[in-house]
C-alpha cells in the first residue's frame, strides 16, 4: 500500500500516535467522499496491524 510506505518513513511519529490511541480515544477524520482515498482509515489500519 502506497500510504503505508509513507507511514513507514515516519514510523516514530506514528508510534507516538499509537501510544495516544492506547491511552484514550483518538478520532481520525478525513474529508473525501471517495472511500478509496480515505487516509484516516488507512492510518487506523496501519496502527492496528503494526503497533498492537
Question: Whole-structure pTM over 0.85, yes or no?
Answer: no
Domain with 22, as residue range(s), is: 2-51
CA separation for the pair 19, 39 (Å, rounded): 19
Q: At 31, is the secondary structure helix, strand, or coil? A: coil
Cα atoms in the 13 Å half-sphere on the side-chain side of 6: 6
The yes-or-no verdict on residue 25 having pLDDT over 70 is: yes
The yes-or-no verdict on residue 4 having pLDDT over 90 is: no
Number of domains in the chain: 1
Amino acid at each position: 500500500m502506497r500510504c503505508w510506505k509513507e507511514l513507514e518513513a515516519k514510523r516514530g511519529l506514528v508510534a507516538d500516535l499509537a501510544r495516544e490511541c492506547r491511552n484514550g480515544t483518538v478520532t481520525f477524520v478525513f474529508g473525501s467522499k471517495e472511500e478509496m482515498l480515505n487516509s484516516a482509515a488507512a492510518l487506523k489500519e496501519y496502527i492496528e496491524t503494526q503497533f498492537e
